[in-house]
Structure 1
Amino acid sequence: MAHSSPVTDPAHDILRAQRRALDAIFNPRSIALIGASEEPGKVGRTLLEHLLASGRPVYAVNPYTPRVLGHATYPRIGAIGQPVDLAVIATPAATVPQIVAECGAAGVGGAVIISAGFREVGPAGAALEQEVLQAARQSGVRLIGPNSLGVIRPPTGLNASFARAAARSGSVAFLSQSGALGAAVLDWSQNENVGFSAFVSVGSLLDIGWGDLIDYFGDDPHTGSILLYMESVGDARALLSAARAVALAKPIIVLKPGRTPGALRAAASHTGALVGPDEVIDAALRRTGVLRVERIGELFAMAEVLAKQPRPRGPRLTIVTNAGGPGVMAADALLQHGGELAPLSAATLERLNAVLPAPWSHANPIDVLGDARAERYARVFEIALADPDSDGLLAILTPQDMTEPQATAEALAAQARGAKRPVLASWMGGPSIAAGEAILNQANIPTFPYPDMAARLFTYMWHSTRALRALYETPMAVDDPADRAERDAAARLIAAARQAGRAALDEAETRQVLAAYGIASVATRSAADEAAAVAAATELGYPVVLKLRVPAELHKTELDAVRLNLPDAAAVRRAMGELRAVAAARLPDRPFAGVLVQPMLNDGYELLLGSTVDEQFGPVLLFGAGGTLVELLDDRAVGLPPLTTTLARRLIERTRIAAALRGVRGRPPIELARLEELLVRFSQLVAEQPALREIDLNPLLARWTPGADPPLVVLDARLLLHPPTLPDEQLPRPAIRPYPRQYITQLQLRDGTPVTVRPIRPEDEPLLVQFHHTLSERSVFLRYFAPMALDTRIAHERLTRMCFIDYDREMALVAELTAPDGARRIIAVARMIRLRGQPVAEYAGLVSDQYQGHGLGTAMLELLIRIARAEGIRRIVAQVLPENRPMQRVFQKLGFRLKHDWSEGVVHATLDLDDAQQSSGAPL
């Protein structure tokens, strides 16, 4: 048998220090302040006062004075002679590189650089900043800043900042790239009674970035939600990787200014002109389940709402109000932001009619009228919360003569207790509603002064739920054979074109590349003269289209270089003459290159499918309505590669043309499943061929004719290339790591049975369910160190975490058999999880009972060791039960060191790859 379990022992010496690499900053045992001052009004004095109040040992460093605030100083950090976890640096910018190097030599783990005067002052400051980074990397010191307001950890009493206002203790980690905004938020939080698990002014994000911080506070027991004020993205892949790992467990809410679009840039493709950077940020955050809000107040309000209320199952909100105007305001905000008014069923209307006066609104919003007392409100709340067609409730109260704000709040609190859908409230007014508002807050019902804000926050909750659901909804498998010959040939073709200095692929090359990814192009013939054009048109069948052959970077329609719907040979000859004249007038320096002849297809919707490169997030995808008016139609959705069928469906649904694709005005729907598959294949093309700078498939015709073959066909395409002066290693990479096909391996069991070992995919969830049915209770016990019921093992929530992995963070291999009837089975799983930010990985493996003893577990661990080397892993660790002798022998065979921990009843296995010999790669 070949089983092991991930490391779970927090006392394990090898891993303990690695897991919390940023503890030196956020939970330091001792602190040094470099730049301590006694002068009132100086940053160095404020910092020292705050640090001394933390109760930790604090060492003041100042070479120019022997004492500061009654405390002895040290001339430099190396003279302290005691261990220091955190250094807070508040000295002139020019001194910082040397100070960081001295911190490293003194064994300091982390530093917060308060000092300003770096990249924000120009090129000289930017160069100085790089010196600081180099010193930190060489010495192993992790940095917050520079140009930081500091770090505050209220639950532990740490205040390493010069902020004037204190921070209350709470569950919100607030990470701000603006020190001034952060200081204002701290002031505001005092009046609003907002508490923080951490306040971090990130400064320039020189070293520690968003990804590091999200990882850290994702594991922090004091933190319930993570809020970001973000001005720049930094390391996009690290940000998205961390957010994807944390967002399912803790809300991550982002305020990112800069939504106002600038002028469309000049671009050689429709896609390049249409995709703005803010749209890409939206798409990236949505892809990881992060919620983006528009206002600073919404940032903290959403943290409160998500902490107090369940997420909605859908977009439908029931609004209950005692005044028509506020109800309309809420409804408008709801609909404008993508929510829906919950429909009132006949049964619900009947129940409402029984408890409400005849003049009530008889619709949602439910206007209970201005004379509504608490009892009437209570009955309506009960009916609304029982309605299965509603996903949430917003209660609005305005103070009128008959209104009972306090009693109504008590009624709402009673009805909301135990509700499985979110309940929000807007108690409008001043002192007269304060007592009722307090009752609601005590009952964990968020209250808002205005109903439109409450409705808008409900839509944010729904968008967040929907995004997370899409991320972990099991997609359909898209046929993708392991044979890579066609795609490898496409890569060679692209490389040759770049080496030749060409800016784009020609028509034939474009069709070949698209075909390698299963994307059909319309039948096309080249013709150099009238006779050849007529012959091609006769072969293809009338009517036809003629297109002037022009360089791919030029738009044919803008050159008037297309002639449509030519019904016969005479029309083809006339069109040929017209296109010769166009070429002579519009392209006088180029010889006439002939035309392309294609059949005229007009039985479908013209779509645009494209890609371009974003400076921060790399390749991005665009889908929407296509054709010659694509910029004017402005119907598009942006996403990141790679896609699954589920993500492709969500991309389609964000466009207006999606409604037509489902069938409209008597036309049948197109084959949406085929369109989803095409988007998946296109995303693979974008992710796997980084030398493609921009792609335009416009129009991509989605045909409504039943039985049309193919149902989706590219009528025109352009594939533009990165210049050959850009080295391959500098080509843009996807912000989300694509499927690592290079690790697909073919093996044979000892009895000759062929097995494919490949990285796991989201589509594998059904196969994993079958796999768990093949395991005995003993195999399960040896793997998990305890019994685990089958229902628990195959729960969707659990298996999605097994299948939807970030290949930068972990690598899971499955061994797959294919039966003679084509059915596939998973017979083994092996996984290694990288410790965050460290070259250490934990291993776990499990083999189906029927295939234990065939050497499969050994082979898969050996493959993981090779992958670990390729991925920069330097150590693999695991745990195994003492009675699992077969796995211990496998570990020993492959060079692991074993150490028995009798107190914990486990055996620790460790493999240092720097010391181990290269794996032999021998077959099973």
Structure 2
Amino acid sequence: ILGDADPDRYAKSIEVALKDKNSDGLLAILTPQAMTDPTKTARRFVEILQGNPPKKPILASWMGGDGITPGEQILNNSKIFTLPFPDTAAHVFNYMWQYTYNLQGLYETPYLPSDEDENAPNRQRVQRMLEAAKAEGRTLLTEYESKQLLEAYGIPTVTTRIANNEDEAIALADKIGYPVVLKLNSTTITHKADVGGVRLLLQDADTVRKAFQAIQSSVKEKVGAQHFQGVTVQPMLKMSQGDYELIVGSSLDPQFGPVLLFGTGGALVEVFKDSALGLPPLNTTLARRMMEQTKIYQALQGVRGQDSVDIEALEKLLVRFSLLVAEQPWIKEMDINPLLASSEHLIALDARVVLHEAETQTLPKPAISPYPLQYVQPWTLPDGKEIVIRPIRPEDEPLVRKFHEPLSQESVYLRYFHLMSLTSRVAHDRLSRLCFIDYDREIALVADYQDSETGEHEILGIARLSQLHGLNEAEFAMIVSDRYQHQGLGTELLSRLINIGKKHGLSRISANILPENWPMQRVSEKVGFQLHRIAPDMITAEILLDDG
């Protein structure tokens, strides 16, 4: 609008902009001109919004010092956020978009990798490695040990073998195939290159022998012979166009506990400083969001005719790395640098793991509770079907949707106290919040049956325990598929919720039950609940856990 615009023209322009479906927000800017009335314009602005409540964010920038203060006050009193400069408002819009985008990411349904069940982490192997290092009084794992730890969680690493002398190094190089890399093997030195502990592109036995001697001599001269425990022999992987060096790491934040890092890696990681942070544990969606915050992500998708890196495989790797961080509290710091990424492979070329001191009394906890594996247990139905009762996870949303489809109206009414349409029950906004839960405050157990022939999963029942805010009490709710009612599944699910409540130190668990829901009343009494009629149309089931 022109500089001579009066309040009515401003109001009309705002009205048109609010109706424009091509915009997601409105910023009204006023700069005092000869014909401008900032105060009256503000009043007309407010009147337009009162008659047409906005469905998009509204910002205003009334510029001009003291002369616009009355108009600015009118806008603020009407809950219209004002800013002194329009560029600041543009930043605010950007922050609002980022916030919305992050929320959408949290509740976007992640996928469950198809090989998740077959490639479960070898946690016992990791436990043995960490216990052995602590028993020796060490806080630093060797590169070889660090890679073994990563492999136990399904993270691919370059072939790495230990050689204690020159002849062993040559024999391993002959077996691996030239060219090879020799690196210092040490339980005390973390940055091998700083002490001359890395030799690249070794083409034959003679260069391997000389490299072994050079590493041994350099370490002895710079830090002492006691820091040399042989070398590792690895194949020399050539970088080609379309290959990228990444870094994946974790460190401790004094407030948030373990924090993840992803970004551009290699020798210049401190120069580029292209990285993003996240909190473990991740799922595939959160892993993607983390990658999207970096500059390298655009290149990973393929540029200048190069093939894209296997983004899905990279998501899986980040999920597994985050699980390792969340499940192993003795790990203080850890990084993979570089992680070689291309369209054909993802492979950790070097790794470093630092542990807490053995005498550490209190280990840091993740800000987000990891998946509670301790509650994953098998169970057998009366007909012989083997199922697994486990906590729900965000990836279960498609299974929960299928679970709701065949439920009878009676089952729905008894669970929700009113008839609820299938469309409402399976809406993404609803299911995403039911599946993506904070395990510190809520546990939902699902009865998971996997067909041995097709491999397809089916949820047979869901039981939920939700802690009441500010109280040491919780409420339970449960629903079982019509086909599997009256088979003891509800009793088993409720019994497990009671045990979980005891482990969490709850004092009381309760639930409201409709009088006509006699199966739930019977199950509740069977596992120890007391029933109380609190109204003609409502019964409360209650169990006290103080006495264990």
| TM-score normalised by structure 1 residue count | 0.55
Give the Cα–Cα distance (whole angstroms) in 2 for the partners of residues 431 and 502 of structure 1: 66
Deviation digits for residues 899-920 of structure 1, max 9, x if unmatched? 11234x111111112357xxxx
Distance 1:441-1:741 versus aligned 2 partners, 3 A rule: same
Give the Cα–Cα distance (whole angstroms) in 2 for the partners of residues 572 and 384 of structure 1: 72
Partner of 1:717: 351
Partner of 2:124: 488
Deviation at 1:567, TM superposition (A): 3.8
Letter in 2 for 1:724: A
Which range moves more in the overlay, 453-462 or 806-815? 453-462
Partner of 2:528: 895
Give the Cα–Cα distance (whole angstroms) in 1 for the partners of residues 120 and 246 of structure 2: 28
Give the Cα–Cα distance (whole angstroms) in 2 for the partners of residues 502 and 442 of structure 1: 63
Partner of 1:876: 509
Partner of 1:551: 187
Q: How does 1:56-95 map to 2 (within 5 A)?
A: none
Distance 1:543-1:563 versus aligned 2 partners, 3 A rule: same
Deviation at 1:440, TM superposition (A): 4.0
Deviation digits for residues 693-748 of structure 1, max 9, x if unmatched? 11121111112xx4x2xx21111111111121124xx1111122111100001001
Q: How does 1:566-577 map to 2 (within 5 A)?
A: 566-577=202-213
Q: How does 1:772-851 map to 2 (within 5 A)?
A: 772-819=404-451, 820-851=453-484
Partner of 2:327: 688
The alignment status of 1:858 with 2:528, answered yes or no, reads no
Distance 1:854-1:559 versus aligned 2 partners, 3 A rule: same
Distance 1:645-1:448 versus aligned 2 partners, 3 A rule: same
Q: How does 1:469-548 map to 2 (within 5 A)?
A: 469-478=104-113, 479-481=115-117, 486-548=122-184
Q: How does 1:141-152 map to 2 (within 5 A)?
A: none
The alignment status of 1:458 with 2:93, answered yes or no, reads yes
Deviation at 1:521, TM superposition (A): 0.7
Deviation digits for residues 571-610 of structure 1, max 9, x if unmatched? 4344333323312312323274332221222242111111
Give the Cα–Cα distance (whole angstroms) in 2 for the partners of residues 872 and 431 of structure 1: 59
Partner of 2:244: 605
Give the Cα–Cα distance (whole angstroms) in 2 for the partners of residues 434 and 613 of structure 1: 47
Partner of 1:666: 305
Which range moves more in the overlay, 736-745 or 393-402? 393-402
Q: Is the 8 A contact 2:442 2:464 kept in 1?
A: yes
Q: Is the 8 A contact 2:142 2:186 kept in 1?
A: no
Q: How does 1:615-634 map to 2 (within 5 A)?
A: 615-634=254-273
Deviation digits for residues 295-332 of structure 1, max 9, x if unmatched? xxxxxxxxxxxxxxxxxxxxxxxxxxxxxxxxxxxxxx
SS at match of 1:768: helix
Deviation digits for residues 655-699 of structure 1, max 9, x if unmatched? 222222222233222111211111111111011111111112111
Which range moves more in the overlay, 835-844 or 383-392? 383-392
Letter in 2 for 1:818: Q
Distance 1:636-1:893 versus aligned 2 partners, 3 A rule: same
SS at match of 2:445: strand
Give the Cα–Cα distance (whole angstroms) in 2 for the partners of residues 630 and 532 of structure 1: 33
Partner of 1:429: 64
Letter in 2 for 1:469: Q
Distance 1:799-1:560 versus aligned 2 partners, 3 A rule: same
Q: Is the 8 A contact 2:161 2:233 kept in 1?
A: yes
Give the Cα–Cα distance (whole angstroms) in 2 for the partners of residues 624 and 474 of structure 1: 24
Partner of 2:231: 595
SS at match of 1:678: helix
Q: Is the 8 A contact 1:552 1:720 kept in 2?
A: no
SS at match of 1:590: helix
Letter in 1 for 2:354: L
Deviation at 1:531, TM superposition (A): 4.0
Distance 1:415-1:700 versus aligned 2 partners, 3 A rule: farther
Q: Is the 8 A contact 1:830 1:861 kept in 2?
A: yes
Q: How does 1:1-12 map to 2 (within 5 A)?
A: none
Deviation at 1:446, TM superposition (A): 2.2
Distance 1:379-1:669 versus aligned 2 partners, 3 A rule: farther
Q: Is the 8 A contact 2:196 2:219 kept in 1?
A: no
Residue 402 of structure 2, aligned match among 765, 770, 787: 770
Q: Is the 8 A contact 2:189 2:227 kept in 1?
A: no
Q: Is the 8 A contact 2:27 2:58 kept in 1?
A: yes
SS at match of 1:687: helix
SS at match of 2:81: coil
Give the Cα–Cα distance (whole angstroms) in 1 for the partners of residues 116 and 9 of structure 2: 60
Counting matched residue pairs gives 541
Residue 196 of structure 2, aligned match among 548, 551, 560: 560
Which range moves more in the overlay, 505-514 or 436-445? 436-445
Q: Is the 8 A contact 2:463 2:477 kept in 1?
A: yes
Which range moves more in the overlay, 598-607 or 440-449? 440-449
| TM-score normalised by structure 2 residue count | 0.91
Give the Cα–Cα distance (whole angstroms) in 1 for the partners of residues 32 and 515 of structure 2: 70
Q: Is the 8 A contact 1:737 1:808 kept in 2?
A: yes
Give the Cα–Cα distance (whole angstroms) in 2 for the partners of residues 380 and 662 of structure 1: 42
Q: Is the 8 A contact 2:186 2:228 kept in 1?
A: no
Which ranges in structure 1 are unaligned for 5 or more consecutive residues?
1-367, 917-924
Residue 81 of structure 2, aligned match among 443, 446, 451: 446
Give the Cα–Cα distance (whole angstroms) in 1 for the partners of residues 70 and 142 of structure 2: 73
The alignment status of 1:743 with 2:378, answered yes or no, reads no
Residue 286 of structure 2, aligned match among 623, 647, 671: 647
Deviation digits for residues 383-435 of structure 1, max 9, x if unmatched? 65566554322221111124354565466557763443212111112565456
Give the Cα–Cα distance (whole angstroms) in 2 for the partners of residues 701 and 584 of structure 1: 31
Partner of 2:314: 675
Q: How does 1:184-333 map to 2 (within 5 A)?
A: none
Give the Cα–Cα distance (whole angstroms) in 2 for the partners of residues 554 and 512 of structure 1: 16
Give the Cα–Cα distance (whole angstroms) in 1 for the partners of residues 94 and 121 of structure 2: 47
Give the Cα–Cα distance (whole angstroms) in 1 for the partners of residues 48 and 465 of structure 2: 47
Distance 1:447-1:471 versus aligned 2 partners, 3 A rule: same
Give the Cα–Cα distance (whole angstroms) in 1 for the partners of residues 99 and 351 of structure 2: 35
Q: Is the 8 A contact 2:144 2:232 kept in 1?
A: no
Q: Is the 8 A contact 1:879 1:908 kept in 2?
A: yes
Deviation at 1:527, TM superposition (A): 2.7
Q: Is the 8 A contact 2:144 2:161 kept in 1?
A: no
Distance 1:412-1:470 versus aligned 2 partners, 3 A rule: same
Give the Cα–Cα distance (whole angstroms) in 2 for the partners of residues 483 and 665 of structure 1: 35
Letter in 1 for 2:317: L
Q: Is the 8 A contact 1:552 1:719 kept in 2?
A: no
Q: Is the 8 A contact 2:181 2:198 kept in 1?
A: yes
Distance 1:430-1:589 versus aligned 2 partners, 3 A rule: closer
SS at match of 2:122: helix
Give the Cα–Cα distance (whole angstroms) in 2 for the partners of residues 840 and 546 of structure 1: 59
